[in-house]
Amino acid sequence: MSDPLRRVAVVGSGNWGSTIAKIVGTNITKFNTFENEIRMYVYEEMVDGRKLTDIINQEHENVKYLPGHKFPPNVVAYPDVIEAVKDADILLFILPHQFVERTCHAIKSHVKKTAFAVSFSKGFYVSKDKSVDLLSTVISRLLEIPCYVLMGANIASEVAAGKFCEATIGSRNYEHGQLVKGLIQTDEFRLVIKPDTEVIEVLGALKNIVAVAAGFSDGLGFGDNTKAAVIRLGLKEMVKFCEEFFPGHHPQIFLESCGVADLVTTCYGGRNRKVAAAFVKTGKDIKTLEEEMLNGQKLQGPDAAAEVQEWLKEKGQANKFPLFVAVHEICERRLEPKALIDALRHHPEFCQCLCFILNSSYLALNCLPNDTCRFFNTFSRTYTIQTISQARLYFLQEIFPNASQCCISNTDYLINKLNSTTPIHANISSPRCLVFDNNGYLVTVSVNLKKIIRLYPANLTIVSDPLSPRFNDSPQLITYHNEAYYVALTYYIVVIDSNNLTILHNITTSNLDGTRGMMFLNNGQTLIVASTFNSYLLFFNQSATDSKSYSFVSQQKVNYIDPHGFWYVSDTYFYVTSWQNNSIYSYSATNNSVIWTEKLFLNARSVAPSSNGNHLTVDECDRYWFMLGGNGIRIFNNQASLIANLTRISASTFYSLITDKYVIYLSDTSSNFIIRIDPNIQCYSDEEN
């Protein structure tokens, strides 16, 4: 018996939705695996005394939103969105972004669990509590299906007329991406598939804000030179927004159709530019102009600017995006349109300078009121800032788990700052270790969900990963090396490609029993595993032909119970925690030795009576942060003396990552949280603290 034919539904019927329905209706006849009928959800309205759905179904034309372009007969308009999506395998969301949430709520119980969606909508979602999210994430979360995106330099009437253009599909699922490409691509409408789904979607929303700025410039009577400056500085802010909040993307993504091409097209030919110019010339408000000029369609730019403003306020980053902020303030009439030029004139782009001294040991980006440079003493990984009044600093924050110089040596000051900071949380069911990968993601494993979870570090938004494999056993920890995740299950370790999430290898040996710690030495040539239940350290060597494959070579019995977490110091020195004893042991060896000398470094049993010696982090000030579960985090100096407690932030800390300027990430297994704490500190000496 042959497989049932799959069905496509188009959710939305504005000019872009109608254009896509026209294309898919024509292309679908090339496939023998799809139903011929394309169901298009149409918001019912009266046009010259007739229902719009009747006009479309009888005359095969959307006379209101795409006049002059005929649908193929197999495109059928449905006024009921539930009927439109019934039995659909592919849902193409082409709605104004303001209507996405309510539509998803209406259809959620009627969508097939095997379906997937593609969002063409350009904007952000703002919840009632003012938190901001991507529309694809909202669709995926509410419908519980994967959601991909399609963005590009696409003015609907030109696409419908068959004028050559291109677009970008954002999908990490190769099969689904190719299927979408086959349904939509034509000789005149060319598509490229890229895996940077989130950035592709974000660019589609941000370019509308820049287009509003371009319209303000036109309305004020400035020429092409000014508009070029708007486009360039707008693109800079778009890139910076993506780097700040969605790191790990390929830098070439900005050169795709979803990036600079879409931006230029919208700034010269889109509705946002046109309405923004009229806003300046007529003095009318945005809503009035929308009703007068857009024939019932919705304007995206002003709403996107408001949504981005909420996002930036939540993150405390508004001062880094003056053009975005100015557009919002002008739309709300809190600033005059000419304030746009002030935002351009005083953009941080023009008041940064790069200063060098001959030996390159001094390096700083800074801006003083007279636009002169001032040198700041810096080190290889952290900055010691000499305070200068009225100076504005624009240092790019980087993640340095092992910085080389002491940033905050005053521990009391640091703990007070951490305790007074409001953390942000991500709900993850029983998270374990945390790592950063080559994509810029913060990565953990969920014991209960039995899968890898990837998050954006800046806001702890969970990355949609429909390809993430499900494990048969509960994963206990994860580490990362050489573009691969190493996930420890009870009796073996799974090696997974960090780019496409495919399983590459399994690593095991007969004595592997309950892995709780893993660490690489010699640039990945040696993998050490803590086999917890039988108290062994197991050593594996890297394959000469496959850098992600390892084979067992030796083992060493430890003289305590439950070896757990590692901390790497050098290829000949490291630490191991004991979960049972709440202790830390040091291991040292000469370069040629295969036997490691074990020595007790500290015993925390007196300050943490219940067994919970999870993991250890050593910061650049040589402080030892011992994760002791329900006992909290105990901080010791290099003489093994207790110097501080950190108990208010997490109920049961399993693992921590301490990054540049003490932005700290924690996993809390009992509260089911990943926690991010940003104390917003600069680096000072003891005297200044």
Residue 477 domain-assigned (yes or no): yes
Please say which residue of 149, 174, 195 terminates a domain.
Answer: 195
Residues 540 and 589 in one domain: yes
Is residue 682, in this structure, part of any structural domain at all?
no
Domain annotation covers residue 397:
no
336 to each of 207, 329, 333, how far by Cα in Å?
21, 8, 7
Q: Is residue 31 part of a domain?
A: yes
What SS3 class is residue 145? coil
Q: Do 237 and 116 reside in the same domain of the chain?
A: no
In a domain, 689, yes or no: no
pLDDT of residue 319: 79
Within-domain flag for 401: no
In a domain, 368, yes or no: no
Residue 152: CB partners within 8 Å, gap ≥ 6? 165, 166, 167, 168, 256, 257, 258, 261, 262
Q: How many Å apart are CA 340 and CA 218, to the nearest integer? A: 12
Q: Are residues 217 and 309 in the same domain?
A: yes
**pLDDT score at 268:** 93
Same domain, 493 and 420: yes
From 96, 162, 40, select the one nearest 294 (Cα to Cα): 96
Count the domains in the chain. 3
Q: Which pLDDT does position 389 carry in this prediction?
A: 38
- Which residues have a catalytic role annotated? 207
pLDDT of residue 586: 94
- Look up the domain containing 627 and give its range: 411-677
DSSP string computed for 348-380: GGGS-EEEE-TTS-BEEEEE-TTS-----BB-S
Is there a contact between 508 and 493 (Cβ–Cβ < 8 Å)? yes
Q: Which ranges of the chain have pLDDT less than 70?
A: 1-3, 350-405, 591-593, 651, 683-689
Domain boundary among 171, 195, 219: 195
Which of 407, 408, 412, 468 is CA-nearest to residue 439? Answer: 468
Whether 341 and 440 map to the same domain: the answer is no
Geometric angle at alpha carbon 454, from 570 and 101, rounded to 5°: 160
Residue 385 is assigned to a structural domain of this protein:
no
Same structural domain for residues 117 and 215? Answer: no
129-163 residue pLDDT tens: 777 889 999 999 999 999 999 999 998 999 999 99
In contact, 495 and 505? CB cutoff 8 Å: yes
Residue that is last in its domain, among 161, 195, 229: 195
Condensed to tens digits (0 to 9), the pLDDT of residues 289-343 reads: 998 998 877 788 999 999 999 888 878 788 789 999 999 999 999 889 999 998 8
Whether residue 183 is found in the same domain as residue 234: no
What pLDDT was estimated at residue 120? 95
Instruction: Say whether both 473 and 538 belong to one domain.
Output: yes
Residues 329 and 450 in one domain: no
Regarding whether 645 and 555 lie in a shared domain, the answer is: yes
